[in-house]
Structure 1
């Protein structure tokens, strides 16, 4: 290469660097704009706590070999002001901050990834940081000490400021090789390594330290060209090697990761369906365009390098909006208006921009401007906006209807992708496949006598401070027990139908469904309609109390990995006697058996024969699962419980 060519390459690298720095600065400013005012100082305090190690500050770990200190971290006035607000009692130390400064700096970079600084950022957004280090320079003991320090800072942020912070200790050398170890109980490396790197490159904000050199290379280069350009970094030049870290190039994504990523997203959808519906759609779009489309991170980088046609417009580029635009183009081209509408609604709800509520022009953020532009483009009416903005007051049926549409899309998307993928070439490990598959089976599968999971994206909104339970006579004979949201005593017709939540053949199954799906707890007022003898509201309240203790709501994603890799076993068993029979009799007239399993499923069956069929799982395993007995209050309840115990070899603990 001639000196002139080398000069041109360096000039191009410098121009890209300036635009990347401008973009990074804009993302930081966006992050701070969207943060609640009380949390803005934390944005500056968290890097500082990684930079120092002192007993007067959170994150202190005793010992001479504790790695700390952030590369290229400077003590600016903005940081000084933030620290004064966070740590007023340590002001004397902050006034002479040099005494806290590290002799050596062990952390190459602190990088944010995820929704922060995008239109998807909300007041409840987690702070997900990559703490980038060179593992070759640190011993296992030092890495363990640094991890301890990070955990202490996470706990401080949660306890003192109710801010959820996650630090992912990332070895630069392993990231370069797409080795992400184990995350959240499953191997991210086997499920979606390159996809995770794409996600990182698409959303990252360098908070402090070195920038990924990836940002400086053009959007479409080979790995060989990537390292050739890295060779232009020279000590003492405007492109200092110490300013950058090598996390590796990313030419294209790997289709072999798609199946693992798809079932991963289905798993995530159990907790965050609004986020997962967009991410699952992104996977399907990638599969359809794998041969001729660049990874999203490279498309984003191209726009940053181009200054989005003008250098001043770099600040308008949003990773989340860019992803969303890709999805809409794809599903519009397939003439799937119902999917397009679902994605639009999910984006709007997730972003939480209440456009039906006017704001002062001075308070209008970039996020509101982008979402308002979308809504105008979609042609939504003010009535539609008001309806979505009033989501906290939606009826139970409206919430469930949207949730069903979301989960239906996720399942159909997964099936379409599975049909196009060769499972033999997928990189997800056998163990991960087993764990993820069993979680999905627990959450989605329908089985005889199983209590179904309410597929809701509204866990925080489906809780009922008050429910009404009614018994209806079926036309062909028999009974239906129905739970309604709120106080519906004396109400009939359409008003009643709008609050209907669930109906079953017996009240035990009905209340257990409410407990397992977080609709009721011990504080819920249960209103029982007339003509339900012999069942009383006291019976229902007592049963709910015991069900909450024995069969608490299950977070399927929190099920232990070891349990899912082991054979399924009964975890707890409860027998309920004579719940709906006349209480004057002193004999066992009705048996209802409830049991939960180590795979997170709960079942309800009827009859003594149901208990007999479980004898092996209850009696011949070690340790034997605990068994309990509940008899509704009556003058004969003790005798009924005693007689039942005498007739069964299995020991039962009687509940009051």
Structure 2
């Protein structure tokens, strides 16, 4: 019997391509399975809106002049029945357009590919997962003006998706040449800039789903390929061949990650943790694992590719590969090897909570467990979790405030530990991060994490809305030495028993003002919250607290550190607003200024609360000698002496104060 002939390069590429396409199809099917019914049409409609440009549809852009054209149209995009059905559901009044699609079908093809990255189509997908698309284009074909028009179109589609479906869609305009060179722009908003260019590419390769257009050529090369081999294989493709070079885009090779980028990537992830700790915990852990394997290991995306390419070893199983689960297994293996039990427990809980599997809720009769439930159930069994723990994790709404805050602290402690370990390990590597990016991200971190005298600290949260209190009870007790302790408790504890339930205690402070400022800045309460005061002692009334709450929410709302303007963070810190709160704790019969607290915010997102008559004096330059001058406000609690106290305060201070009542 003749020996089997080895496969040619082209045959190998074709086999790999078929497996990649099967995997890509499975990811799309998984994405649609996990999507709420009402969101599914969006998945089909978004590519269509990028493909066409019609005045009756979202994303329409008119060229400013007859010389300019708006880039639209996606390579290899076809009008399938599921697309038509989705369009008719979203735009019933425009059904006539879809009946004769040729009338709006474009001749041009400006977009090489529309590729989805992130948690969609993995176990981490939830009902409110963002859609993060890379809109891949050949930047050399278009002027800056044309690209600006395309960006305008994409932004309009994002806005429509948000307003219509309540889903965050992000289109990242990605020039193929720049991506190949790991150039991702500046670190602002959703863009990672120079902080982690290669890591962003690795993340893209690890989670991408080609929704329409060309596939990244990276998928076809073996997992252990050098840059030279990658180029040789790519150059072997021919137009009209099999595979055809026109089926692919070259976003570049990724052999191994660069330790010099790790520090910037770690800072970036700490920054992201301000908004989404669950995601950042897993990503920060991934950075640490990358670092441990930097000299000999491969990026996770190459491991994923190996599994996809070897799909034939387990027929049909290529569809079962989940990039998120694969990543998680690698992380746990690393931390087990290093005996970090607390870290493992944090990672397990974060994965479970992020995935939102709700294993404690049984399937309805006849319902089949989807892939996510199967994977998460097998994890829970493997980890030795009890049903009691699963029920507890599935019912966060019933957690005490303390339980929520404890998990938040564990998460941020893990993040900072990772960051310190990474910093220590790579201190000898030269950093490649752009200096301005480093400054911006470093200042964000300092604002969020650094402790300073009189600074209002940020609540390091793992949850968002779940810490919000519709009702809150404020209580004050006096210590033997005469000092006051003001405490806040979640809920209305007065009408229940009048006894303060310590498990619902949120925080405490030395003054009522400090307590209220922290509660507002931490998004625990707002003007819709009902504040109850335990009438135990003191001059401060419920009315005073509600007046203060109203002013704080209006003039000193919570700061979103990740959204602080880049230019502000690159410039020297300056005071942006100042609030004098006069005679808040003193006897209301007093007709003179007895007590002054000064609250002020800065352009770096920091808030300070200082006490004493001399504070305004020390801030004179920041309030008086700058342009534009920061607004200054003053409040005196209600009472018979209010106007007299205000008069004395305003006369003693030359600054222009707006009086708040």
Tell me if both proteins adopt one fold, taking TM over 0.5 as the criterion: yes
Q: Secondary structure at the match of 1:425?
A: coil
Q: Are residue 45 (structure 1) and residue 45 (structure 2) matched?
A: yes
- CA-to-aligned-CA distance 1:437-463 (integer Å, 9 cap, x gap): 111111111111111111111121111
Q: 2:521 aligns with which of 477, 491, 516?
A: 516
- CA-to-aligned-CA distance 1:523-572 (integer Å, 9 cap, x gap): 11111112233111000000010111121100001111111111111111
Q: Secondary structure at the match of 2:524?
A: coil
Provide the rounded CA distance (Å) in 2 between the counterparts of 1:540 and 1:308: 68
Q: Are residue 354 (structure 1) and residue 358 (structure 2) matched?
A: yes
1:386 alignment partner in structure 2: 391
1:257 alignment partner in structure 2: 261
1:376 alignment partner in structure 2: 381
Q: Are residue 195 (structure 1) and residue 195 (structure 2) matched?
A: no
Q: Are residue 632 (structure 1) and residue 634 (structure 2) matched?
A: no
Q: Pick closer, same or farther for the CA change 1:494–1:540 going to 2, 3 Å.
A: closer
- CA-to-aligned-CA distance 1:320-340 (integer Å, 9 cap, x gap): 111100110010111111110
Q: 1:238 deviation in Å?
A: 2.6
Q: Are residue 283 (structure 1) and residue 255 (structure 2) matched?
A: no
1:144 alignment partner in structure 2: 148
2:591 alignment partner in structure 1: 586
Provide the rounded CA distance (Å) in 2 between the counterparts of 1:235 and 1:421: 45
Q: Number of paired residues?
A: 653
1:55 alignment partner in structure 2: 55
Residues 463-542 of structure 1: matches in 2 within 5 Å?
463-489=468-494, 496-542=501-547
Provide the rounded CA distance (Å) in 1 between the counterparts of 2:452 and 2:315: 58
Q: 1:393 deviation in Å?
A: 1.8
Provide the rounded CA distance (Å) in 2 between the counterparts of 1:189 and 1:635: 57
Q: 1:185 deviation in Å?
A: 4.5
Q: 1:5 deviation in Å?
A: 8.8
Q: Secondary structure at the match of 2:358?
A: coil
Query: Greater CA deviation, 183-192 or 545-554?
Result: 183-192
Contact 1:395 1:499 in 2 (8 A): yes
Q: Secondary structure at the match of 2:594?
A: coil
Residues 69-88 of structure 1: matches in 2 within 5 Å?
69-88=73-92
Contact 2:493 2:499 in 1 (8 A): no
Q: 1:613 deviation in Å?
A: 1.8
Query: Greater CA deviation, 383-392 or 72-81?
Result: 72-81
Provide the rounded CA distance (Å) in 1 between the counterparts of 2:362 and 2:600: 52
Q: 1:140 deviation in Å?
A: 1.8
Q: Pick closer, same or farther for the CA change 1:492–1:87 going to 2, 3 Å.
A: closer
Q: Secondary structure at the match of 1:154?
A: helix
Q: Pick closer, same or farther for the CA change 1:190–1:124 going to 2, 3 Å.
A: same
Contact 1:178 1:189 in 2 (8 A): no
Query: Greater CA deviation, 443-452 or 379-388?
Result: 443-452
Q: Are residue 655 (structure 1) and residue 660 (structure 2) matched?
A: yes
Q: Are residue 247 (structure 1) and residue 251 (structure 2) matched?
A: yes
RMSD: 1.7
1:311 alignment partner in structure 2: 315
Q: 1:50 deviation in Å?
A: 1.2
Q: 1:422 deviation in Å?
A: 2.8
Provide the rounded CA distance (Å) in 2 between the counterparts of 1:193 and 1:232: 28
Provide the rounded CA distance (Å) in 2 between the counterparts of 1:261 and 1:494: 48
Q: 1:87 deviation in Å?
A: 1.4
- CA-to-aligned-CA distance 1:486-514 (integer Å, 9 cap, x gap): 01127789961101111111101111111
Q: 1:424 deviation in Å?
A: 5.9
Residues 79-478 of structure 1: matches in 2 within 5 Å?
79-185=83-189, 188-307=192-311, 309-360=313-364, 361-422=366-427, 425-478=430-483
1:30 alignment partner in structure 2: 30
Q: Secondary structure at the match of 1:518?
A: coil
Q: 1:13 deviation in Å?
A: 0.8
Provide the rounded CA distance (Å) in 2 between the counterparts of 1:242 and 1:101: 21
Query: Which consecutive unaligned segments of at least 5 residues does structure 1 have?
Result: none
Contact 1:259 1:423 in 2 (8 A): no
Q: Secondary structure at the match of 1:320?
A: helix
Q: Are residue 604 (structure 1) and residue 609 (structure 2) matched?
A: yes
Provide the rounded CA distance (Å) in 2 between the counterparts of 1:82 and 1:11: 37
Provide the rounded CA distance (Å) in 2 between the counterparts of 1:556 and 1:229: 45
Q: 1:231 deviation in Å?
A: 2.9
Contact 1:397 1:499 in 2 (8 A): yes
Q: Secondary structure at the match of 1:401?
A: helix
Q: Are residue 566 (structure 1) and residue 556 (structure 2) matched?
A: no
Q: 1:429 deviation in Å?
A: 1.3
Provide the rounded CA distance (Å) in 2 between the counterparts of 1:132 and 1:187: 15
Contact 1:187 1:432 in 2 (8 A): no
TM-score (structure 1 length as normaliser)? 0.97
TM-score (structure 2 length as normaliser)? 0.96
Contact 1:19 1:311 in 2 (8 A): no
Q: 1:614 deviation in Å?
A: 1.5
Query: Greater CA deviation, 349-358 or 46-55?
Result: 46-55
Q: Secondary structure at the match of 2:506?
A: strand
Provide the rounded CA distance (Å) in 2 between the counterparts of 1:293 and 1:345: 27
Q: Secondary structure at the match of 2:111?
A: coil
- CA-to-aligned-CA distance 1:458-501 (integer Å, 9 cap, x gap): 12111110001111121333211111110112778996110111
